[in-house]
C-alpha cells in the first residue's frame, strides 16, 4: 500500500537533491528528525521510487566540455513508421548528446550537446547529429550561461 509523502519527506528530498552525499546524521539535523526515523524515511523513499538513484554532478569545464548547445530537431515523419524509434536508438549512441527530450510542439526533439568549443560542436553537428535517421531540420542555440 503506497502512502503519500508528507512535508518532512519533501524536505528530505530537497536536501538530498542539493547534496546526495549527506550523511544520515547531517540530513536528520537539517530536517529535525532523529537518525533512525530519518534513515527509515530515506529507505522508504528509495523503495517507493521517489529516489531513483544518486550521482555525482561533474564539472564540465574541468572535463574540457564547457561548451553547451541546445539543438531543436524536426523529423521528416513522425507517423506510423519507425522513424522515431530509429532516431531514439541512434541518438543514444552520440556521446556528446547530454540529453534528448521528445516534445509536443513545433519541433520534435530538444537536444543538449556538450563539446569542447564551437569548432567541436560544428563537427558533431555535421558528422553525427545531422546524420541521425529521419532528420528534416535542426536549429542550434549556443548557451551563454546556465542560470539554474
Within a domain: 52: no
Specify the number of domains making up the chain. 2
CATH number at residue 19: 1.10.10.10
pLDDT for the residue numbered 1:
36
Residues 80 and 132 in one domain: yes
For 70-127, the three-class secondary structure string (H helix, E strand, C coil) is EEEEEECCCCCCCHHHHHHHHHCCCCCEEEEEECCCCCCEEEEEEECCHHHHHHHHHH
- Residue 142's pLDDT is what? 97
pLDDT tens digits, one per residue of 1-34: 346 899 999 999 999 999 999 999 999 999 999 9
Domain of residue 131 covers 67-142
Q: Is 79 part of a structural domain of the chain?
A: yes
Residue 56 placed within a domain = no
Is residue 59, in this structure, part of any structural domain at all? Answer: no
Task: Look at residue 127 and tell me if it is in a domain.
Answer: yes
| Domain presence at residue 55 | no
Predicted TM-score (pTM) of the model is 0.82
Is 61 a domain residue?
A: no
Digitized pLDDT (tens) for each residue of the chain, 148 residues in all: 346 899 999 999 999 999 999 999 999 999 999 999 999 999 999 999 999 999 998 999 999 999 999 999 999 987 766 888 999 999 999 999 999 999 999 999 999 999 999 999 999 999 999 999 999 999 999 999 999 8
Q: Is residue 86 part of a domain?
A: yes
Q: Which pLDDT score, from 0 to 100, does residue 3 have?
A: 66
At residue 148, the pLDDT reads 87
- Asked whether residue 80 falls in the same domain as residue 21, the answer is no
Same domain, yes or no: 73 and 134: yes
Q: Are residues 88 and 126 in the same domain?
A: yes
Residues 78 and 134 in one domain: yes
Amino acid at each position: 500500500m503506497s502512502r503519500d509523502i508528507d512535508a518532512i519527506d519533501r524536505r528530505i528530498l530537497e536536501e538530498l537533491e542539493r547534496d546526495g552525499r549527506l550523511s544520515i546524521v547531517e540530513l536528520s539535523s537539517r530536517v529535525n528528525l532523529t537518525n533512525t526515523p530519518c534513515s527509515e524515511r530515506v529507505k522508504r523513499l528509495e523503495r517507493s521510487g521517489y529516489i531513483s538513484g544518486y550521482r555525482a554532478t561533474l564539472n564540465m569545464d574541468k572535463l574540457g566540455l564547457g561548451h553547451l548547445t541546445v539543438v531543436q530537431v524536426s523529423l521528416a515523419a513522425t507517423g506510423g513508421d519507425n522513424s522515431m524509434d530509429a532516431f531514439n536508438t541512434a541518438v543514444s549512441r552520440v556521446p556528446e548528446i547530454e540529453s534528448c527530450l521528445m516534445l509536443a510542439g513545433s519541433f520534435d526533439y530538444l537536444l543538449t550537446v556538450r563539446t569542447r568549443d564551437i569548432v567541436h560542436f560544428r563537427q558533431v553537428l555535421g558528422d553525427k547529429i545531422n546524420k541521425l535517421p529521419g532528420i528534416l531540420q535542426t536549429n542550434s542555440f549556443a548557451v551563454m550561461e546556465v542560470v539554474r
